[in-house]
Amino acid sequence: MLVGHEEYCDYHTIQEAVDALERQPDNRTDTLYILSGVYEELVRIYRSKLVIRGIGHVEITMNRFARGLDENGEEWGTFATPTLFLGGSELLVENITVSNTSGQGPKVGQALAVYAHCDQTVFRNCTFRGHQDTLFTGPLPPATKEGLPFAGIPLREKHEVCRQLYQYCYIEGTVDFIFGGAEARFEHCEIHSLLHHSGGPGFITAASTPEGQEQGYVFKDCYLSAEAGVRNVYLGRPWRAYARTDFVDCLLGPHIHPSGWDHWDNPENKRTVCYREYGSRGAVDAGKHRVDWAAYKETTADAPY
């Protein structure tokens, strides 16, 4: 199936094509080709067994944000804001740029580019642009920190684990811009920190790894870069107590805070998180300054990957 702005395309919007595919039998793998262009739309995909392949520069963009108001005058909230939502399994997404152009600041709040509530999914050569909460990797925790159910996009399929692989991707943001409970591996990705609107610190990850899950986030051979003037960016802080995040053989820019990690104003998290670095390069004498409740190894000899 072909999407594009040309007259000969099957559909001219991505969502129309997705809706048509979701009416087809889901026991086979279908491929959705998207021709170059900018597609200003919210895309919701529940279909499994799907390949989404961009040709040329393909960008999906929208500007919904958490503090924005819906038709009832209620705030959208974080998990109703993604430009692209994926809810199925056995997916391959290639050569797609997804942007949330809402910007940042107290009047915006969180604004997702991608809500990846998907299992057995590969993202390859993709770009995700945003500020706070750019990429959410499901599943959600059982409840909010206040004990309430999460609102947002309805979930049709429950995944006990969301297994995801990101290869040769570019992901940018300011605060917690890669977050969630997935078992996710990032290979040869550029992780780019932007200036925070208030000049405050940045945070790359905010994992919510479920207790007992063997893996959370693994960054292997990734490149941590930053916009000019960015400083004091932490590798991660725990959205939930059992957060797991590993950096293996990654190149770190000088924007990374010497401490490396933050416990999110809760010292109890020090006992339960699993934060590890193996063979980090680029940051001078990083091991001498890292917090003592995270593991730091100069080589990858002990890395379990």
pLDDT value for 287:
72
Assigned token pair, 299: 């080589």
> Rounded CA gap, 180 and 191, in Å?
16
Q: For 280-295, how does the pLDDT look when each residue is reduced to its tens digit (9 = 90+)?
A: 998 767 778 999 999 9
**Residues of the chain where predicted confidence (pLDDT) is lower than 70:** 284
Total Cβ atoms within 10 A of residue 90: 16
Total Cβ atoms within 10 A of residue 301: 8
> Rounded CA gap, 296 and 289, in Å?
10
Catalytic one among 176, 262, 285, 292? 176
- CATH number for the region 39-297 comes to 2.160.20.10
Q: For 10-66, how does the pLDDT look when each residue is reduced to its tens digit (9 = 90+)?
A: 999 999 999 999 998 878 999 999 999 999 999 999 999 999 999 999 999 999 999
Q: What is the dihedral of CA 211, 215, 221, 224, to 10 degrees?
A: -20
pLDDT value for 125:
98
Q: What are phi and psi of 78, to 5 degrees?
A: -55, -50
> Rounded CA gap, 99 and 194, in Å?
14
Which of 233, 247, 224, 179 has the alpha carbon at shortest distance from 202? 233
Domain ranges, ordered by start, for the chain = 39-297
- Taking CA atoms, 130 is separated from 56, 71, 196, 197, 271, in Å, by 21, 24, 12, 13, 32
Active site annotation includes 176: yes
- Structure pTM? 0.97
Which of 209, 206, 85 has the alpha carbon at shortest distance from 152? 85
pLDDT value for 128:
99
> Rounded CA gap, 137 and 162, in Å?
8
Cα torsion angle, 210, 190, 84, 86, sign: negative
